[in-house]
Amino acid sequence: MKFFNKLNVCFGIFALGSGLGFLGSRYIQQPTAIEQSQIYPTAIPTQSIPANIGNSNQNINFIATAVQKVGPAVVRIDASRQISSTLPENFKNPLFRRFFGNDGKDASPDTTNRFERGTGSGFIIGSDGRLITNAHVVNGAEKVKVTLKDGTSYEGKVLGTDIFTDVAVIKIEATDLPTVSLGNGKDLTPGEWAIAIGNPLGLDNTVTVGIISALGRSSSQVGVPDKRVRFIQTDAAINPGNSGGPLLNSAGEVIGINTAIRADAQGLGFAIPIETAQRIADQLFSKGQADHPYLGIHMVNLDRETKAEINQNKELDFKVNQEEGVLVVRVIPGSPAAKGGFKPGDVIREVGDRPVTTSVQVQEQVDKSKIGSKLEVKVMRDGKIKTLKVRPSAFPQGEIEQ
- Half-sphere exposure (Cβ direction) of 180: Cα atoms closer than 13 Å: 31
CA distance 55 to 23: 36
Which is catalytic among the residues 166, 226, 235, 346? 166
> Is residue 136 among the annotated active site residues?
yes
Please tell me the distance from the alpha carbon of residue 297 to that of residue 70, in angstroms, as a whole number: 43
25 burial level (CB within 10 Å; 0-12, 13-18, 19+): middle
Residue of 121, 243, 359, 369 marked active site:
243
Q: Which residue among the candidates 37, 78, 121, 136 is catalytic per the annotation?
A: 136
**Rounded distance, CA 280 to CA 165, Å?**
8
Distance CA 388, CA 291 (A): 23
CA dihedral 21, 224, 336, 351 (to 10 degrees): 150
Q: How many helices (H) and strands (E) does the chain have?
A: 8, 21
The answer to whether the CB of 154 falls within 8 A of the CB of 174 is yes
Task: Using DSSP, state whether 70 is helix, strand or coil.
Answer: helix
Q: What is the rounded distance in angstroms from the CA atom of residue 138 to the CA atom of residue 21? A: 12
Query: For the residues of 73-99, what is the DSSP string, one character each?
Result: GEEEEEEEEEEEEEPPGGGGSHHHHHH
Residues 6+ apart with CB under 8 A from 156: 77, 131, 144, 145, 146, 170, 171, 172
Q: Classify each residue of 161-190 as buried b or exposed e, where b means 16 or more C-beta atoms within 10 Å of its C-beta.
A: bbbbbbbbbbbbeeeebbbbebbebeebee
C-beta separation of 389 from 374 below 8 A: yes
The residue length of the chain stands at 402
- Give the active site residues: 136, 166, 243
